[in-house]
Amino acid sequence: MPDGSVNILIAGEAGQGLVTVGDLLTKSLVRSGYLVHVTQDYHSRVRGGHNSFAIRAATHPVEAPVDEIDILVALNQESIDLHRSQVKDGGLLLLGESLDLDGECVIRIPFKELAPRPIFYNVAALGALASVIGLDREAPASLLKKTFAKKGEEIVRQNLEVLEKAYDWATGQGRCRLAPLPPVEHPGTRLMLTGNQAIALGAMAAGVKFCSFYPMTPSTTVALTLAAHGPKLGIMVEQAEDEIAAMNMGLGAAFAGARTIVPTSGGGFALMVEALSLAGMIEQPIVVALIQRPGPATGLPTRTEQGDLNLALYAGHGDFPRAIFAPGTVEDFFRLTIQAFGQAEKWQSPAFVLGDQYLADSYRSVAPFDLDAVPEIVGPDLSDDNADGYERYAVTESGVSPRRIPGFGKSLVLADSDEHTPDGHITEDLAVRNTMVEKRLRKGCGLYADALPPEYSGDGTPDLLLVNWGTSRGAVLEAAAELRAKGAKVGCLHFSQVWPLRPETFLSALQAAKEVVCVEGNATGQFADLLAKAAGVRIGKLVLRYDGLPFTAAYILDKLGSVSETLRCV
């Protein structure tokens, strides 16, 4: 660990407790002040299969997963076969009890000796790992006290005993040539959060009151997080009978005044598309958290991809405006979920938070959010002025009509999926039709003016500009840093809002670079196409990934040597 970081991979079958060990170790690292990056890779099954939990911990910020492993914890033979080649020279192998392997730097954990019953094996593994990486024993100990406090003093005592025994045993084994993690100055309280948990927290901070969903990996944890805190925060979370119901129910709740989020993944969102169009027609603010996984159809249910940009952008029949956010960090999932609610309310349009399995399941250590700094969101018109003359779809210059809530006053609110007059009644008057289409689309100009510019980092006039969006950000930044270390002039242009796009905020950056490459996690370069449409700039060179795994710096650097056109035949 010469650079003050360690990459640990815990691998085994589903049901072997590797996520529990990974969770506990990550929390211990975060509580000790280290910065972490966790990548979970799992098969779409509850038992068996090959699963892994990768923890990259460091004294400095880590932005992406890496392939090389310092410590491999293998709980079955398959894990050894699959990952041994990734272990660095001098790296360590920790094996489950029944496994055997010759070679130096191989340590077999005698679980039966260290723990009285199998239920304690996870804690034994935690103690051994904490010792091997040089973590102070107090960090896991205080975590176990907190975790098991509700189960009584006896349970806490037994767990601490196993932890101590395993820690001491592992200390006696040495750590081969591995250096311990250097001490880190404690930065104060840190949260250990995934992207999906950050979406849920952002929604809560934005005042979400309703969430309807149908379970679908990898989006489900957004709803589960809201459900866990819902009773205390007064958030109604309902598992609908299907995604069609989830979206329509969400619209009904939003219409009746509850700020609403609908989390889903690509296949589920495909079922919501008609109701998205309804949101556009009745000008109903609603936020869709679309957590992507590889398609088409069922695809790779538990893997990652950035393949649903076009789906989010073009979903819904007819013309209506929308905003699409694609956060690149856990902090941005929080911040931009709030921004999505703000834009949805302000422009009475649907807004998307595009995530993907990689960051949805990836734990990071983040500083607690400043809840007092959460921007005030413009809500509905709670006045009841001139109730008799109230018209839900009054034609205005901005396109935004005062939105009142049924039952909150004497004003009557009528929403209609048919083309409608300003008071919401069905019409086939074609002049009214034109007026209403134009009114709705004027809100798109407001969304355009509010759109966030991309984030530029790196050299002023780079030889190479790496364009990216959403969760590819971290790996791109690391790849750029490695290239710069070799003397190259490299810039990164990260888009955290992918629609609307304002070319004046990024055209000069695209033009200043000698070479531009777009890095995105799909097979056709969907964002590169969108840039061509929105800004008239065609990026011919693409680094794409569509094998279901997240980008790493090593992958990007490898592909940069042989960037190719997309797979499309045009």
Partner 1 sequence: MDSKEFGEFVTAWCPGCGNFAILKTLKAALAGLGIPPHRLLMVSGIGQAAKTPHYLRCNGFNGLHGRSLPPAQGAKLANGELTVVAVSGDGCSYGEGGNHFLAAMRRNVDITLLAHDNQIYGLTKGQASPTTMQGQVTKAQPLGAPSNPFNPVAVAIAMKVGFVARGFAGDTEQLGDLMQQAIRHKGFSLVDILQPCVSFNKVNTYAWYKERVYRLGEDHDPTDWSAAMHKAMEFGDRIPTGVLFREEKPDFAARFPFLATGPLGRQPVDKAALREAMESYS
Do 491 and 466 meet the contact criterion of CB atoms below 8 Å apart?
A: yes
DSSP conformation letters of 72-111: EEESSHHHHHHHGGGEEEEEEEEE-TT----STTEEE--H
> For partner 1, what does the binding mask look like between residues 207 and 226, x meaning CB under 8 A?
x-xx-x--------------
* # of chain residues touching partner 1 (CB under 8 A): 66
Identify the three-state secondary structure at position 519: strand
What token pair was written down for 464?
A: 């190479």
Q: Which distant-in-sequence residues (6+ apart) come within 8 Å of 547 by Cβ?
A: none
Shortest distance in whole angstroms from residue 139 CB to partner 1: 13
One-letter-per-residue 3-state SS of 118-185: HHHHHHHHHHHHHHHCCCCCHHHHHHHHHHHHHHCHHHHHHHHHHHHHHHHHHHHHCCCCCCCCCCCC
Q: Which residues have CB under 8 Å from 35's CB, separation 6+?
A: 57, 58, 59, 60, 61, 62, 364, 365
- Distance in Å, CB of 311 to partner 1, minimum: 19
CB 306 within 8 A of CB 528: no
| Both tokens assigned to 432 | 């009214």
Residue 414 touching partner 1 (CB under 8 A): yes
Q: Which is nearer to partner 1, 190 or 494 (CB)?
A: 190
Using the minimum distance from each CB to partner 1, give the nearer residue, 240 or 560.
240
Q: How far apart are CA 362 and CA 334, in angstroms?
A: 14
Q: Is residue 441 involved in binding partner 1 (CB under 8 A)?
A: no
Q: Helices 473-485 and 553-560 sit at what angle, rounded to 10 degrees?
A: 60
Helix H or strand E encompassing 364: strand 364-366
Give the whole-angstrom CA distance, residue 139 versus residue 160: 12
Among 68, 241, 429, 558, which residue interacts with partner 1 (rule: CB under 8 A)? 241
Residue 499 CB, nearest approach to partner 1 (Å): 24
* Nearest distance from C-beta of residue 287 to partner 1, angstroms: 15
Options 100, 242, 429, 565; binder of partner 1; rule CB under 8 A: 242
412 is a contact residue toward partner 1 (CB under 8 A)? yes
> Are the C-beta atoms of 263 and 211 separated by less than 8 Å?
yes
Residues numbered 156 to 195 that lie near partner 1 (CB under 8 A) are 189-193
Is residue 238 close enough to count as binding partner 1 by CB under 8 A?
yes
Beta carbon nearer to partner 1, 60 or 410: 410
Q: Is residue 81 within the footprint of partner 1 (CB under 8 A)?
A: no
Does 244 interact with partner 1 (rule: CB under 8 A)?
yes
Query: What letter would DSSP give residue 426?
Result: B
Please identify which residue in the block is written with the tokens 């490898």.
Answer: 558
Query: Residue 568 — φ and ψ, nearest 5°?
Result: -70, 150
Among 39, 52, 248, 329, binds partner 1 (CB under 8 A): 248
Does 410 participate in binding partner 1 (rule CB under 8 A)?
Answer: yes
Residues 311-350, mask of contacts with partner 1 (x by CB under 8 A): ----------------------------------------
List the one residue out of 166, 136, 126 whose CA is nearest residue 32: 136
Residues between 261 and 280 with contacts to partner 1, criterion CB under 8 A: 274-275, 278
To the nearest whole angstrom, how small is the minimum distance from the Cβ of residue 366 to partner 1? 9
Structure tokens at 294: 């590889």
Joined tokens for residue 353: 């938070």
Is residue 534 within the footprint of partner 1 (CB under 8 A)? no
288 contributes a contact to partner 1 by CB under 8 A:
no
Work out whether 249 is an interface residue with partner 1 (CB under 8 A).
Answer: yes
For partner 1, the closer CB: 242 or 547: 242
Which member of 8, 258, 313, 531 binds partner 1 (CB under 8 A)?
258
Rule CB under 8 A: choose which of 33, 49, 402, 409 binds partner 1: 409
Q: Does 96 bind partner 1 (CB under 8 A)?
A: no
In angstroms, rounded to a whole number, what is the distance separating the alpha carbons of residues 436 and 441? 9
Scan residues 370-389 and list those touching partner 1 (CB under 8 A): 371, 380, 387
Q: Which one of 99, 236, 273, 523 is in contact with partner 1 (CB under 8 A)?
A: 236
Longest Cα pair distance anywhere in the chain, in angstroms?
85
* Choices 58-66, 164-172, 204-212, 520-528 (CB under 8 A): range interacting with partner 1: 204-212
Select the residue interacting with partner 1 from 166, 251, 311, 340 (CB under 8 A).
251
**Should residue 417 be labelled a site residue for partner 1 when binding is judged by CB under 8 A?**
yes
Q: Which residues bind partner 1 (CB under 8 A)?
A: 31, 189-193, 197, 201, 204-205, 207, 209-210, 212, 229, 231-234, 236, 238, 240-242, 244-246, 248-260, 274-275, 278, 282, 368-369, 371, 380, 387, 405-418, 424-426
